[in-house]
């Protein structure tokens, strides 16, 4: 008896099945996974991964077409399928969140980021999408408790930058300077960071006055 295809994979196949090639252009759809030579049996896990790789390639081509056509609901549907298949994939999470934001579903966007962070508490990058969501809305006080705990893990440079600016814009230039110094230990040649550190140090020397 053949093992059932996982739900997310089956959904992707159903969604993509109507088109033999990406709609709206002349590019060929990727072909199915090649069969293995005799004497090398394929496990169910390998078969599933090969099939999913083909679907992922097909998805990438079709997504561009749907996005350019303004078919955002289909893009979101496909991203949901991809997220269900691999919930830890950072790019899929952020793409899905961005698309939800584009159609003004901000509550769903935030819930997606919160769930992602909760599912992967040891991932130093997991808090970033939620923190960026708040930062764009100038809710700087909500950014700080998300990004401060991951600094010892040396996250992406943008986490340092966002955290330092959040401290600065909530009237805590000393903390902003501390974060810039920590960042420059990791990336000592970042000239923009050096200028930001100098700016907040001048603010501190001037009694907290200056540009945020």
The domain that holds 95 is classified in CATH as 1.25.40
| Same domain flag for 83 and 2 | yes
CA distance 133 to 127: 10
CATH code, domain with 170? 1.25.40.10
| Same domain flag for 139 and 113 | no
Q: Say if residue 89's pLDDT is above 50.
A: yes
| Same domain flag for 146 and 71 | no
pLDDT at 210: 52
CA distance 75 to 78: 5
Higher pLDDT, 88 or 48: 88
Q: Say if residue 199's pLDDT is above 80.
A: yes
pLDDT tier for residue 12 given thresholds of 50, 70 and 90: low
Asked if 109 and 102 touch (Cβ cutoff 8 Å), the reply is no
Asked if 159 and 147 touch (Cβ cutoff 8 Å), the reply is yes
Q: Which 8-state DSSP code applies to residue 20?
A: S
Give the pTM. 0.76
The answer to whether residue 61 sits within a structural domain is yes
| Same domain flag for 146 and 211 | yes
The answer to whether residue 3 sits within a structural domain is yes
| Same domain flag for 138 and 100 | no
| Same domain flag for 91 and 190 | no
| Same domain flag for 84 and 106 | yes
| Same domain flag for 98 and 139 | no
Q: What is the mean pLDDT of residues 45-55?
A: 80
Alpha helices in the chain (DSSP H): 7-16, 44-68, 72-85, 90-102, 106-119, 128-136, 140-147, 157-169, 173-186, 191-205
Q: Say if residue 16's pLDDT is above 60.
A: no
pLDDT tier for residue 50 given thresholds of 50, 70 and 90: confident
| Same domain flag for 140 and 184 | yes
Range of the domain at 188: 134-212
CA distance 9 to 130: 27
Q: How many domains are there within the chain? A: 2
Q: Which helix (H) or strand (E) holds 127?
A: none
| Same domain flag for 116 and 174 | no
Asked if 181 and 187 touch (Cβ cutoff 8 Å), the reply is no
| Same domain flag for 184 and 208 | yes
């Amino acid at each position: 008896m053949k093992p059932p295809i996982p739900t997310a994979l089956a959904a992707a196949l159903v969604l993509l099945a109507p088109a033999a090639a990406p709609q709206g252009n002349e590019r060929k759809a990727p072909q199915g996974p090649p069969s293995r030579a005799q004497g090398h049996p394929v496990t169910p896990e390998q078969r599933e991964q090969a099939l999913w790789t083909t679907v992922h390639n097909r998805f990438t081509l079709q997504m561009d077409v749907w996005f350019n056509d303004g078919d955002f609901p289909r893009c979101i549907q496909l991203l949901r399928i991809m997220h269900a298949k691999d919930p830890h994939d950072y790019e899929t999470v952020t793409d899905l969140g961005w698309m939800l934001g584009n159609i003004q579903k901000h509550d769903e966007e935030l819930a997606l980021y919160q769930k992602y962070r909760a599912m992967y508490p040891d991932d130093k990058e997991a808090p970033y999408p939620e923190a960026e969501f708040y930062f764009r809305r100038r809710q700087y006080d909500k950014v700080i408790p998300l990004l401060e705990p991951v600094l010892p893990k040396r996250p992406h440079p943008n986490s340092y930058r966002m955290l330092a600016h959040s401290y600065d814009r909530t009237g805590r230039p000393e903390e902003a300077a501390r974060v810039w110094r920590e960042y420059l230990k990791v990336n000592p040649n970042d000239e923009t960071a050096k200028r930001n550190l100098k700016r907040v140090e001048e603010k501190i020397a001037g009694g907290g006055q200056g540009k945020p």
